[in-house]
Amino acid sequence: MEKNPFVFAQEQLQHAAKIMNLDANVLNVLQQPQRIHEFALPVVMDSGEVRVFEAYRVQYDDSRGPFKGGIRYHRDVSLDEVKALSFWMLLKTAVVGIPMGGGKGGVIVDPDELSEGELERLTRAYVRAGGGIFGPLIDVPAPDVNTSGREMDWFVDEFAKLTGEHQPAVITGKTVENGGSEGRGKATAQGGYFVLEEAIKRIDVGDAPTVAIQGFGNAGGNMARICHEHGYKVVAVSDSSGGVYDENGLDVPALLEMEKGKKICDLPEYEEKCIENEALLELPVDVLVPAALENQITEENASRVQAKLVLELANGPTTPKADKILFEKGIPVVPDILANAGGVTVSYFEWDQNLKNEKWTEEEVDAKLSPIMKDSFAETAKRADEHGVDLRTGADILALERVQDAMRERFGLKAAEKVA
């Protein structure tokens, strides 16, 4: 039976807290969210029927700044999942040092079953239900699973109707035409690449490191393009249909130009080079980039991973037991809360631009993103080396240190006994 995600999040908290001797007062505060909001959203369907959708917004902690986190539309959304995700968002914003907290939202719905008009009415109902819990200095949502700039634009418009004022900084991930940031679309991969540049210095590679990327969507596709442009040899990529592998390197630009809707393994020129997604994870490469789904590297296959470095662009692609196996094998895993934090960092840039009524170029965004990601990796690696732990625990420790400092300063928490 799959573990409750919030139980796992709390185990992660307890593990890092014990290693770093986290202040017991801070630990007590972090064992539950500050606020949990549950909504029943009535939506008029195209048929005239009214359906009521269950929805949540969890505001975990804002000691470092406004709550920050996406809103997902998925039939499997649950309160425990949203609580766990909001905690992980707190760690993610803290590990890269941006002045925001952790939150998350979700609606129990299969968006494929709704028309565009029904999705718009659902989104606007969510904004109205939340009312005063949102605001540029209170809680700043963003896109997540099955939501995009379209839904964020609807959110801004509905929020303006509620408040009588257009406030684009109330949400990030908007379309560029409606206040979104240049560079946001590639931000997850771009941030991951900046981290990779630093992480790869810790392993023995040649002039053209080999890379295998599981997942060829926004994150994986952009990562393939960026690595190719910087002289890495991308030898394998995959989508839901499977992958292709060529030890001499793939024609990444051609793959990115594939006709929309086609699958990699359906292309005649790659028919002889197709492999299963599972096989991609076990290729003898310098860098393995899981950029698709969670729970891909497990205790069953971790011993067969041959990569010298794993960079998690997906959320949760490596299970805890697999983490331990890889650590014992000497394979560093750059954790998702750091490796894919370029997305939330550029979301913060969008918020900052909106508040200042500024518009930065893509080059300016990249120039601001690079030192944040590289410095965060350096600090993460420092914590991992100091405590003799893996990079994931190092990232957790760094994030919790920053949350602890903020709680003590903002709320006047006095130091208590350390965690035993």
Which runs of E-coded beta strand occur in 253-363? 274-275, 287-290, 309-311, 333-334
Judge if 31-176 and 187-339 fold alike in CATH terms: yes
Token pair for 218? 């926004």
Phi, psi of 267 (to 5 degrees): -80, 125
CATH ID of 31-176, from 3.40.640.10, 3.40.50.10860, 3.30.70.260, 3.30.70.1730: 3.40.50.10860
pLDDT along the chain (420 residues), means of 10: 79 95 95 98 98 98 97 95 95 98 98 97 98 96 93 97 96 96 94 97 88 93 96 93 91 82 75 87 97 89 96 91 94 96 97 97 98 98 96 97 93 59
Q: Which residue has the tokens 């994986």?
A: 220
Phi, psi of 47 (to 5 degrees): -75, -10
What's the pTM value of the predicted model, to 2 decimals?
0.92
189 residue type, one letter: A
Supply the pLDDT for residue 1. Answer: 44
378 residue type, one letter: A
Q: How far apart are CA 286 and CA 19, in angstroms?
A: 30
CATH superfamily label, 187-339:
NAD(P)-binding Rossmann-like Domain (3.40.50.720)
Q: Are 312 and 244 in contact (CB under 8 A)?
A: no
Calculate the CA dihedral of residues 11, 12, 14, 20 and round it to 10 degrees.
160
Q: How far apart are CA 339 and CA 198, in angstroms?
A: 11
Contacts of residue 367, Cβ cutoff 8 Å, sequence gap at least 6: none
Find the catalytic residue in 68, 83, 92, 104: 104
Q: How far apart are CA 145 and CA 242, in angstroms?
A: 22
Token pair for 255? 């793959």
Q: Are 291 and 280 in contact (CB under 8 A)?
A: no
3 is catalytic: no
Q: Which residue has the tokens 């993103």?
A: 369
Q: How far apart are CA 138 and CA 128, in angstroms?
A: 16
Q: Are 82 and 41 in contact (CB under 8 A)?
A: no
Supply the pLDDT for residue 263. Answer: 78
Helix (H, G, I), strand (E, B) or coil at 124: helix
Supply the pLDDT for residue 242. Answer: 87
Domains of the chain, by residue range, sit at 31-176, 187-339
Provide DSSP, 174-227: --GGGTPPTT-TTHHHHHHHHHHHHHGGGS---SS-EEEEE--SHHHHHHHHHH
Q: How far apart are CA 220 and CA 214, in angstroms?
A: 7
The length of the chain is: 420
Q: Are 189 and 223 in contact (CB under 8 A)?
A: yes
Q: How far apart are CA 23 and CA 26, in angstroms?
A: 5
Phi, psi of 357 (to 5 degrees): 55, 45
Token pair for 82? 């949203």
Q: How far apart are CA 202 and CA 333, in angstroms?
A: 12
Query: What is the DSSP secondary structure assignment for residue 135, as one 8-state letter?
Result: B
Q: How far apart are CA 10 and CA 202, in angstroms?
A: 30
| Strand 35-44 relative to strand 67-74, pairing | unpaired
Supply the pLDDT for residue 413. Answer: 65
Phi, psi of 326 (to 5 degrees): -65, -40
Q: Of 370, 208, 215, nearest to 281 (Cα)? A: 215
